Structure 1
């Protein structure tokens, strides 16, 4: 059986941001373990962002372009790039003869996904967010099946063409699901992890240090803060914390996320699909601040699903003030039993075998074909 699978190639195609990278990488690992050959098709930007299993497999770069929120001439240029990228993808598919194409959204996935449709190849798409992206909305009309992360995904096709598999999460993080949350006692350090993302780091850098300074001194002294921010903001953010009593570790990138998740007591984060899925898998209490400018406001919908399980607190960005955050942090740090309750509820959102579910869905479609 395994030798038969070795003759089957599956093409994965995805954009280069973390929300597309991590689920694609988790699926690549699972499919590889099942004996499939894999190829990644993305754009030049995407090639630079892929690590893990995706960084090991054969990859191809094609032209692509975004069509949203730009000038008329930019859109025309993007359309030309997409057309060329589709032709490039058709050539790649014709030469490599994959059994199917799996798309994870993002404009870099569009050319290869369209090429699969034009050449009559099975196309399986995966939507990470609770609101289907415009790219996936178009592709879903022609895809063999659309897999979703959330039980209720806005704009997902109805009927058997839409299947909830959950959001594939890296194995190193999904394994944390079995770890029991241990709250910090009154005399021990309290580990706060802050994940702003490239689009969320600025307001987090403005609000959070000032909120920390408003905490009672005895609480400040307990805090170990690990904060991710933009590369250009590392030095200025360090200065923001200078007059506080907490200990800080600030960087634009952390390569030890499983360790950080395992040791933290509370997370402040945006509400991207990868973020909320990893938080749920690790069972960490959270304060979510949806990015209001996210496409179709999908982060607000993501956070709402999370909030429904009572696993995290959600603060709209307009309400994310120093005073409000300081009050919430004071309450949570002083009430470890509340954090334990939030951890239990957070795990109710998790689907830790989403990579296996998605891989099995793909195999099911291949058998039908």
Structure 2
């Protein structure tokens, strides 16, 4: 088998794609897998037995009309440029995990008659995945409820691949490897793979309000961390942290953005969450957050209402009422936790390739 996987370089697209690539290689060691993406994650990720290629990305969402026009022209030219490389690799199937980076390879594959599978991470369909869905044989969805914009005949619910060790690490192992102990109320705060200035500033203002029962683990991104005086709580910060499974193991509450990967990591671990959706990106994160709130694991604060006082009151409510104020839909939660999205995607691709080989 020859599998081509294409994805944006941001964590929400990149890590689910990586899960699928690694499982394919594990189940089919003889297979040829090429992983096309861009950015820091691609450069810093070691792929055993998997070829990787960096390709450019031309964003057109949220841009001026002139920039959008130029991006479309560049994307078309890139798709023509990629055709010889695609012919050389001869993929049996292309799996797209979205983002601007995926558009040109999908156009190339469509022109060559290569089957395309697209995965939509978010609750609401993004523009690039909407474009890719025109070419795709099937559209795989993270959430049980598919966006009505998608043609029903193409939609297959697979779930969203989550890194295998998320939710599997014991507290004792996490404490040993991290070098500090979990406290009675441990909060994990982060703003996605790029960090969030709005969340960071609110968390720093919140810290003096927390007592000695609290441990705050904070992933800040590249922002400068100010010196905060008179803290009663314990505070640990990282610019970036790769092994999120360790931090989830210690946490009782997650405060974060609501990218699809984060939402499904929260679902898998069963942690309570306060979600602050990123206000851009066509409100994708808003709908992801509202889904988690409907499930009963999350509470939503929109960024224009965010303040340290509101966040503090919400934290107190969750801890001091012992979660009684949140009604969790355990039946739906358990169904989602049992889904092996990575295996679902691999199984679907295997069936498509086998059928193609039989027909040909």
Q: TM-score, normalised by structure 1?
A: 0.85
Q: Quick check: 1:221 aligned with 2:212?
A: yes
1:170 is aligned to 2:156: no
The one of 309, 312, 316 aligned to 2:295 = 309
Cα offsets for 1:226-259 (capped at 9, x unmatched):
11112133x22xx2x3332111111220122111
Secondary structure class of the residue paired with 2:147: coil
Q: What's the counterpart of residue 11 of structure 1?
A: 4
Within 5 Å, which residues of 2 pair with 1:142-291? Answer: 142-173=135-166, 175=168, 189-197=184-192, 201-215=196-210, 220-233=211-224, 235-236=225-226, 239=227, 241-291=228-278
1:143-200 Cα shifts (integer Å, max 9, x gaps): 11000001223255232310110000111115469x9xxxxxxx95321100112566
CA contact (8 A) 1:156 1:162 kept: no
- Give the whole-Å Cα distance in 2 for the aligned partners of 1:27 and 1:222: 40
Aligned residues: 343
Q: Could you tell me whether the CA contact under 8 Å between 2:186 and 2:251 is conserved in 1?
A: yes
Instruction: Give the C-alpha shift of residue 307 in structure 1.
Output: 1.2
Tell me how far apart the structure 2 counterparts of residues 41 and 188 of structure 1 sit (CA, whole Å).
42
Partner of 1:90: 83
Q: Where do 5+ consecutive residues of structure 1 fail to align?
A: 1-7, 180-186
* Offset, 1:270: 0.6
Q: Deviations over 1:60-110 (max 9, x none)?
A: 233331112334553344234313321232111100111010000011111
Between Structure 1 and Structure 2, the one with more helix by share is 1
Q: CA deviation at 1:347?
A: 5.0
Any conservation in 2 of the 1:173–1:278 contact (CA below 8 Å)?
Answer: yes
Cα RMSD for the two superposed structures: 2.6
Partner Cα separation in structure 1 for residue 329 and residue 153 of structure 2: 33
Alignment counterpart, residue 34 of structure 2, candidates 31, 39, 64:
39
3-state SS in 2 of match to 1:141: helix
Equivalent position SS for 2:318? helix
Q: Name the CA shift for 1:32/1:118 in 2 (closer, same or farther; >3 Å).
A: same
Q: Which runs of 4+ in 1 moved over 4 A?
A: 339-349
Provide the residue aligned with 1:100 in structure 2. Answer: 93
Name the SS of the counterpart of 1:94 in structure 2.
Answer: helix
Deviations 1:279-323 (A, max 9, x none): 111111111111111x22111111111111111111222222222
Q: Does 1:29 align with 2:22?
A: yes
Which sits farther off after the overlay, 297-306 or 11-20?
Answer: 297-306
